[in-house]
Structure 1
C-alpha cells in the first residue's frame, strides 16, 4: 500500500487592487494579462500582502482593476475574469476560476514530468525478479504519476474468490494485508464512491478499502485478469481526467507484460533445475542447494545426505517396458514428497537413483524417512538407501555424496530394501 500525502491541498484567495506598476514599469491591466513573463502586479502591492501569502502554488490573486474586467493569477498562469462592485458574487466566481487555473497548471506539470516518470517505471519493472515486485512497482508509480491519496494493488486469487494485496518484502508472518471479495465490476476500469461501499450500498464488497472515514472515492483499473490497481482519494472534488485513465491503463498494460516476463523466466529457471519426469530437482538443482547447505555445515549446522535406489528396476524395464519403469519412478517421487520435511531437498540423481539432502537432520532422521517411504510404497517397489552425515574429514560436497553412494551399494550387496 502506497500513501503519498496526509493532508489535502487548500487554495488561498487574496483580493487586491493593482498599483499600476508591472515589474517596475507602468502598463495597462489588459496588456499585463497577456504577458506570461512578468508578474501581473506591482511591487508595492506585494509589500502589502501577508508574507505567508506571497509564495506557494496554492496562492491565488484576484486583481480588481478599473473597468469591467479583473485579472486572476495563480502561479505562472493568468487570465481575465468579469468583475466590478456591482457583482457581489465576484469572490465565488473567482474561486471557481482559480480552481480551473490551478488544475490546468498541475495538469501541465504532470505532462512535463510524465516521460521521465515512465522511464523510471519501466526501469523498475525490468529490474523486478518476482511477481510481487511488479505489483509493488505498479502501485508506487501510479501514485507518483497520476496522483491520489493512496495506491495499492490487489492480486486475484481465483480459488478463494478474493483479491488480496501482495506481501511486503519485510512483512512479518501473519501480517494483515488488505483483502476484499472479488466482484466482476473490478474487471473494468471505473469509480466507486464511499456511499456505495456502505452497508446496503451497491458496492458493499469494497467497504474494507474505505476504512479511512475521509476516503471519498476509489478508482480501479484491472491488470488483465491477474488483479486490480486501486487509487483512493480523500477530496470529494477530485476529478480523474480522461488522460489520467489513459495513463493508468498504460501502466497496467506494462505491468501485465512484466508479469509475463517474470513467469517466463521462472519457467525457464524451473526447467533448468527440475527433472521433467518426476518433477523433483535435477543434478543442477542439487549443486545449487548443496553449496548453501555445505557452507552451513562448515559453520556447525548438521547436514545429512541420503542416496536411494530402486530394487529390481532393470527387470521392470526389461519385462514390463519403460512406461512401467517411468510410472514406478513417479510413484517413488510422490512417496518422497509426501514423507519428506519442507526443508528437505529431493533430487532425481540419475536413472533410478534419488538423493535427499536433509539440512539440520541426523542419520536416525534419514533412516526414519526411508522407512516411511518404504511403508507408503507398500511393496509396489523396493528401495535401498545409504546415509552419510557431514564430518570435518569431508573436504567437498562430492565426498559426502560419494560416501552416501558407497553405503547405498553396501546395502544392496547385503540384500534389497535395506538402509546403511
Structure 2
C-alpha cells in the first residue's frame, strides 16, 4: 500500500533593506511604527511576501548594523552574523533559515502528535483485515512523520519478496511495488539513492528509486511480516531521533493489530472448518447455501452432490480409527484437486461429504464424481447422489435431502454407484 504526500513544502528566502538601521535585533515593523513609517515602505528585493504562494514558508532576511542580519521566519526572529570570511549574508541566512524552519516543523509535529495517534489507533481497532492494517500504517506514517511517499510492504518468505498488498477492489493485474527481501529490513535504517545503484550495496531497493528525484528512503520493520518504507525527495531531509521513535511506535501498534486480525480469522476459521479434513463444516455450508440459494431463486443453476465412502465402517472396525481418518483425508484431498474454485466442499458428518456447485449442471456434477473416482483409483470407494434446484424445492434443506435420498438409492443398487 503506497500513499503520497499531496505537496512539497518550500522555503522562500526574501532579502529586504529597511529604510533605517535596526538596532539590537529590533524587528522592522516595530522600528517603522516608532518612526511612523509603515512596514510597506521597506524596499524589497527578490520577491515580495505578498507573492508567496499559499502553503509556503516565508523567511525574511534584513540587513542590519555591525555585520549582522536579522532573520525572521514566521513568529521567530534571530540574528545571523556575516563573518569576515563569508560576507554573503544570503548563504549564511539559508543555514539559519533551515534551522528555524526545522525547529518550527518539529514543534508543530509535537503538538499534533497526540491527536494523530488517537486517530491511528482507532483506525487499527476497526481494521477487519490485514490489508486494512497495512493501509492504515502507511497512511498515518505519512501524515505524522512526513515524507514524499509511504509504502507498506508485506513479506512473502516463500518467494523471498517484499510486496505491497492489493488494495480493496483492485484489479488483480494491477502493478504492485515489489522488491527482493534483504535482512537489512529487519532493523530500522536509511538508504540513499547512490546505495541503490549497481555496486552500492543495496541494489534490492532500486525499484523504489524509480522516480529519479527520490533522494533517500527510511525503513522500519513490522515484526518479521514486512516493512514500512518512507521515500523522500529532499536531500536535506533529516529523520530526527523522535521521527524514528514515532515510526517504531506506529509499526509496533500495527504488529499488535495484525495479531488481533489473525486471531479473529483463526477463530472464525475454526468455527467454519472441519478440523480433520480442513473442508467446510455444517456452519460453513449454511452460510454458503444462503447466498447460493438466493442466486438460484433468481435463475442461476445450482446443483448439490452428496458423497459417501463405501466400507468406511468396516475399515474403522478392523483397521482402527486412524485408518478411517486417513481415508477421510484422502477423499478431502481428491475433492480439492478436482473441484472448481467456485465449488464449496463440506464434510457433512461422519463419512459423508457435500459439494455445492453454483452455476453447474447435472452433467457437470457427474463428471466431477467420475474424476474423483479415477483420482482415488480404488483406494477408497465412493457413492454419490446428485440433485438440481427446481421450483419444487422450497428450502435449501429440501435440496440437500433430495441429494441424500438419491445417495442412499444409489448405494442400495451396488458398490460405488452414482445417482
In the TM superposition, what whole-angstrom CA distance separates every residue of 1:272-308 from its partner, at most 9, and x where no partner exists?
0000111110000000100111111111111100011
Q: Which residue of 2 aligns with 1:269?
A: 268
Matched, 1:308 2:307: yes
Check conservation: 1:220, 1:230, Cα contact below 8 A: yes
Equivalences, count:
410
Match of 1:81 in 2: 80
Higher deviation after alignment, 186-195 or 312-321:
312-321
List 4+ stretches of structure 1 deviating above 6 A. 38-41, 84-87
Q: Give the aligned partner of residue 197 of structure 2.
A: 198
The verdict on how the C-alpha distance between 1:18 and 1:158 changes in structure 2, with shifts beyond 3 A counting, is: farther
Distance 1:312 1:112, change over 3 A: same
| Residue aligning to 2:290 | 291
Alpha-carbon distance in structure 1 between the residues aligned to 2:214 and 2:93: 28
Structure-2 residue corresponding to 1:328: 327
1:23 is matched with which residue? none
Equivalent residue number for residue 109 of structure 1? 108
Residue 237 of structure 2: SS of its match in structure 1?
Answer: coil
Residues 69-78 or 325-334, more deviating: 69-78
> What SS class does the counterpart of residue 406 from structure 1 fall into?
helix
Q: Deviations over 1:65-124 (max 9, x none)?
A: 445654321112222333699972222212211111111111111111111111111111
1:45 aligns with 2:39: yes
* Cα deviation 1:365-394 (Å, max 9, x = unaligned): 111111111121122221111111111221
Q: Following the alignment from structure 1 to structure 2, what is the Cα–Cα distance between the partners of residues 130 and 54? A: 41
Q: CA deviation at 1:29?
A: 4.9
SS in 1 for 2:323: helix
Counterpart contact for 1:161–1:182, Cα < 8 Å: yes
Separation in structure 1 between the aligned mates of residue 193 and residue 416 of structure 2, nearest angstrom? 68
1:173 positional shift? 2.2
DSSP-derived class of the 2:162 partner: strand
Q: Which residue of 1 aligns with 2:128?
A: 129
Q: Given that residues 73 and 79 in structure 1 are in contact (C-alpha distance below 8 angstroms), is that contact kept between their aligned partners in structure 2?
A: yes
Partners of 2:148 and 2:75 in 1: how far apart?
A: 26
1:18-97 aligned at under 5 Å gives the runs: 29-30=24-25, 44-46=38-40, 48=42, 50=48, 51-53=50-52, 57-67=56-66, 69-82=68-81, 88-97=87-96
- Structure 1: how far apart are the matches of 2:207 and 2:85? 51
Give the equivalent residue in structure 1 for 2:15.
14
Segments of structure 1 that go 5 or more residues without pairing to the other structure are 21-26
Partner of 2:154: 155
CA contact (8 A) 1:126 1:258 kept: yes
What SS does the corresponding residue of 1:254 show, helix, strand or coil? Answer: helix
- Output the CA distance in 1 between the equivalents of 2:282 and 2:54: 68
Deviation at 1:10, TM superposition (A): 3.1
DSSP-derived class of the 1:93 partner: helix
Question: How many angstroms does 1:16 deviate by?
Answer: 3.3
1:354 is the counterpart of 2:348: no
> How does the TM-score come out when normalised to structure 1?
0.91
- Classify 1:53/1:149 alpha carbon distance in 2 versus 1 (closer, same or farther; 3 Å): closer
**Deviation for aligned residue 1:6:** 4.8
Aligned twin of 2:3? 2
Cα distance per residue 1:301-356 (max 9 Å; x no partner): 11100011112222222222222211111111111111111111000001111100
CA distance change for structure 1 residues 404 and 18 in 2, over 3 Å: closer, same or farther?
farther
* CA 1:56–1:128: 2 relative to 1, 3 Å: closer
In structure 2, what is the equivalent of residue 24 of structure 1?
Answer: none
Within 5 Å, give how 1:354-373 maps onto structure 2: 354-373=353-372
The CA distance in 1 between the partners of 2:155 and 2:113, in whole Å, is 29
CA contact (8 A) 1:64 1:84 kept: no
* Residues in 2 aligned to 1:53 and 1:178: alpha-carbon distance in whole angstroms: 37
163-172 or 288-297: which moved more? 163-172
Paired residues of 2:163 and 2:176 also in contact (CA < 8 A): yes
Q: 2:342 maps to which residue?
A: 343
Query: Measured at CA, do residues 189 and 86 of structure 1 come closer, stay the same or move farther in structure 2, by a change above 3 Å?
Result: closer
- Superposition deviation, residue 168 in structure 1: 1.5
1:234-265 Cα deviation digits (max 9, x unpaired): 11111111110111111111111111111111
Answer yes or no: is the 8 Å Cα contact 1:18–1:64 preserved in 2: no
Alignment partners' CA distance in 2, 1:74 and 1:106: 12
Which runs of 5 or more structure 2 residues have no equivalent in the other structure?
none
Instruction: Tell me if structure 2 keeps the 8 A contact 1:64–1:83.
Output: no
